[in-house]
Amino acid sequence: MKVDILTKTWVAAILAIFCSALWGSAFPCVKIGYGLFGVDTSQPMSLILFAGIRFFAAGIMVIITGSIMHKKPLVPKIKELPKVAALSLTQTILQYLFFYIGLANTSGVKSSVIEGMSVFVCILISSLVFRLEKLTKFKIIGCVLGTAGIVVINLDRSLLSGFSLTGDGFILLSTIAYAISSVLIKRFSKDTDTMMLSGWQFLLGGAVMTVIGLLAGGSITLPESPLPAVLMLFYLAFISACAYSIWSLLLKYNPVSKIAVFGFMNPVCGVLLSALLLGEAQQAFRFESLIALVLVSAGIFIVNKMGEKN
């Protein structure tokens, strides 16, 4: 694929929405995976163990694919190891450790809304901390509309409950870790292969999470008929391997805000795909879902078409 085509808005939009659809499918598929592997969802360390195995498998998948594409082993140089470690720490280890522990101490609705704000946090960090781009009023307007869409699709009384440090606070820290990782991808990919970074950070992060989950008492069970469970784990690993590799390429050749704003589509896709795969049509196909989709789409359009204007 030629580099210049990745900078075209329509190409970036198609690929970013494809990534959002993959990540959206992870919401219901992770739930199905928990059932197939007998994961006790009330035990955060079992969730971390399951996620660790998934990300470790995703790392292997990316490394093998990258090695075939490059026609040589995809191995980081010594000077690239700090980049792999930094990306693994923020994108995989901290993001998901904080997320799963936080999720155990707050509602799923509040988690979805706080996670949906990751786009806003990502653009703020890119603009104000790393100075990679300008923060304009249209980027702020787009983010506000997108965040409003996430709030609308998750309207629930639990949104009004009090703040919990180990619940809401940890979800917020997970969001910040993700935002930092997105900016790091942008910076590191200038002179480092994105597939190598993606593959090895998943491998390292997955290994660390697996060890933490095991040592802290997490457990999963392989069923007597393992094929459906293994296939589901393979698909979940594919989601991470494929979506993050494409997302990293898009971040490499485009402004962070232009790509990050498509992250607002993740929970929308998650709700719609949950309706199809988990039989939650009554919850998903509501008037609120349509309003959320309109708000998210408007936010994406504004950031991409008017984001550089003051």
Domain borders along the chain are 3-306
How big is the CA angle at 168 (ends 273 and 237), to the nearest 5 degrees? 40
Is residue 263 within 8 A of residue 190, CB to CB? The reply is no
Distance (Å, whole) CA 81 – CA 79:
6
Distance (Å, whole) CA 300 – CA 304:
6
pLDDT in the model for residue 262: 85
Distance (Å, whole) CA 213 – CA 289:
35
pLDDT in the model for residue 286: 67
- Angstrom distances, CA of residue 246 to CA of 92, 151, 165, 226, 275: 16, 27, 34, 30, 26
pLDDT in the model for residue 157: 52
Distance (Å, whole) CA 104 – CA 101:
5
Is residue 268 helix, strand or coil?
helix
Is residue 139 within 8 A of residue 123, CB to CB? The reply is yes
Q: Which residues of the chain have pLDDT under 70?
A: 1-3, 107-113, 116, 153-163, 271, 274-275, 277-286, 289, 307-310
pLDDT in the model for residue 168: 79
pLDDT in the model for residue 237: 95
128's tokens: 């104000």
pLDDT in the model for residue 196: 95
pLDDT in the model for residue 198: 94
pLDDT in the model for residue 52: 96
